[in-house]
């Protein structure tokens, strides 16, 4: 006898965008545990006859097929970083803000996507809605990547909007990010007789000195300024409390302008730390703003909001690599993403919904 299947929590797409955000947030979906929320979104989309829905793992792609001359993507990830202890759920409303895990990153954006899907059955452009898993963890779990590998045709489009938190502004493009491990080597010895060895941790002072002296550039790209950054984000070394360490590793994170290629970024790091062991452990290129393209111009003109450079890395870079210009636009202050007290102004939820409806309808 098979076990009974538990129905997913119901999501009411006719509800106010604020209430819908709270309902989505209250369905816990820490990375690798998105199934329940994906089931709930799939059940909600099943009631929208104008959409063709495809599920790949715990990611969903819902498309209109109206034969419009242009297709746009609205995309958002459904996973969150882990909850706090005690948990920062269920969501609560405090004044004009929703407070709790996911309200900023990025279930407010997911709620806006669902509201648009429900309210625009015959858009002027064909729309592809993407709700995907695994964005907050290693890229091998990223739902966009998995969709691209399994069904690249589902992501074909002329323009994409990623509803990451931007405080309801357009944040164009994104910076690249490189992570390197810079190693200093020495000779182990008894700490009472350091002259018999060579201290690798002491040599790391030279690595940190080069970092401290490094002057990061501000790079204009397509009319927007991207502020580069190079920082030490970790250091490890040592064998025991009475042993001169023979190895020390400094982790360096380089955030580079989208006009810089991955190979050029690697060269910058290798030249800066010449003479030391260097291993590039991660390198993801950025995305140019693409604001000179017609679809992007129409989007910015329709929204009538401020446009700034995206200072972090987001999945707009994945769309850019596919030849699809993309921007970030969503509710919530990005400075509060992953914060224990995530909170999103309800006015931004309503503003983002209204802006996208204005553009699409």
> Mean pLDDT across the stretch 168-192?
96
Q: Which of 105-109, 152-156, 247-251, 308-312 has the lowest mean pLDDT?
A: 308-312
In this structure, of 2-6, 131-135, 145-149, the range with the lowest mean pLDDT score is: 2-6
Please check whether residue 164 is in contact with residue 223, taking contact to mean a CB–CB distance below 8 angstroms: no
pLDDT of 114 above 70: yes
Could you read off the pLDDT of 185-202 as tens digits, one per residue?
Answer: 999 999 999 999 999 999
pLDDT tens figures, 277-319: 999 999 999 998 888 888 788 899 988 888 999 988 889 999 9
The domains found in the chain, sorted by start residue, are 17-174+287-360 (3.40.630.10), 176-284 (3.30.70.360)
Beta strand pairing call for 59-63 and 176-185: unpaired
Q: What is the pLDDT of residue 1?
A: 40
Average pLDDT over residues 145-150: 96
- Tokens 């950054």 locate to 229
pLDDT one-digit tens code per residue, 321-336: 888 988 999 999 999 9
> What is the distance between the alpha carbons of residues 74 and 42, in angstroms, rounded to a whole number?
16
Q: Does residue 3 surpass a pLDDT of 80?
A: no
Rg of the chain over CA atoms, in angstroms? 23
**Does the structure show a pLDDT above 50 at 2?**
no
Tell me the CB-side half-sphere exposure of residue 237, using CA atoms within 13 A.
Answer: 26
Q: Report CA 83 to chain centroid distance, whole Å.
A: 18
pLDDT surpasses 80 at 355: yes
Q: Is the pLDDT reported for residue 47 higher than 90?
A: yes
Burial 109-125 (b: 16+ CB within 10 A, else e): bbbbbbbbbbebeebeb
Residue 297, pLDDT score: 86
Q: Which residues are catalytic?
A: 79, 135
User: Quick check: 361 pLDDT over 80?
Assistant: no
- Higher-confidence position of 222 and 101: 101
pLDDT value of residue 42: 98
**What per-residue confidence (pLDDT) applies to 5?**
63
Mean pLDDT, the chain, integer: 94
> What confidence score (pLDDT) does residue 222 get?
87
Assess contact for 217 and 272: CB atoms under 8 A. Answer: no
Write down the residue that tokens 């299947």 correspond to: 5
- Tell me which residue of 332, 338, 344 sits closest to 79, measured CA to CA: 338
- Tens of pLDDT, residue by residue over 242-267, are 999 999 999 999 999 999 999 999 99
* CA 144 – CA 326 distance, rounded (Å): 14
Instruction: Please name which of 273, 44, 52 lies closest in space to residue 154, comparing C-alpha atoms.
Output: 52
């Amino acid at each position: 006898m098979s076990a009974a299947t538990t129905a997913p929590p119901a999501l009411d797409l006719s509800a106010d965008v604020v209430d819908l955000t709270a309902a989505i947030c209250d369905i816990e979906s820490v990375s690798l545990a998105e199934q329940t929320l994906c089931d709930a979104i799939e059940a909600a989309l099943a009631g929208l006859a104008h959409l063709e829905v495809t599920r790949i793992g715990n990611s969903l792609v819902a498309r209109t097929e109206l034969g419009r001359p242009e297709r746009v993507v609205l995309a958002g990830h459904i996973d969150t970083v882990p909850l706090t202890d005690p948990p920062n759920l269920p969501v609560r409303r405090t004044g004009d803000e929703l407070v709790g895990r996911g309200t900023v990153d990025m279930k407010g954006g997911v709620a806006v996507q669902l509201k648009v899907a429900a309210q625009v059955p015959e858009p002027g452009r064909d729309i592809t809605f993407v709700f995907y898993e695994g964005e907050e963890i290693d890229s091998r779990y990223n739902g966009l990547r998995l969709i691209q590998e399994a069904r690249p045709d589902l992501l074909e489009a002329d323009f994409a909007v990623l509803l990451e938190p931007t405080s309801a502004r357009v944040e164009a493009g994104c910076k690249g990010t490189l992570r390197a491990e810079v190693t200093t080597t020495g000779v182990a010895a008894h700490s009472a007789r350091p002259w018999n060895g060579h201290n690798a941790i002491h040599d790391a002072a030279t690595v940190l000195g080069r970092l401290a002296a490094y002057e990061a550039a501000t790079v204009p790209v397509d009319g927007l300024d991207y502020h580069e950054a190079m920082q030490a984000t970790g250091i490890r070394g040592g064998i025991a409390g009475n042993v001169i360490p023979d190895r020390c590793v400094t982790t360096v994170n380089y955030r580079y302008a989208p006009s810089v290629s991955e190979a050029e970024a690697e060269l910058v790091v290798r030249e800066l730390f010449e003479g030391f062991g260097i291993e590039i452990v991660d390198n993801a290129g950025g995305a140019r703003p693409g604001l000179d393209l017609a679809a992007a111009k129409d989007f910015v003109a329709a929204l009538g909001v401020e446009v700034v450079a995206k200072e972090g890395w987001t999945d707009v870079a994945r769309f850019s690599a596919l030849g699809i210009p993309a921007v970030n636009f969503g509710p919530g202050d990005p400075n509060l993403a992953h914060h224990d007290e995530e909170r999103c102004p309800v006015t931004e939820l309503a503003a983002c919904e209204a802006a996208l409806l204005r553009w699409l309808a």
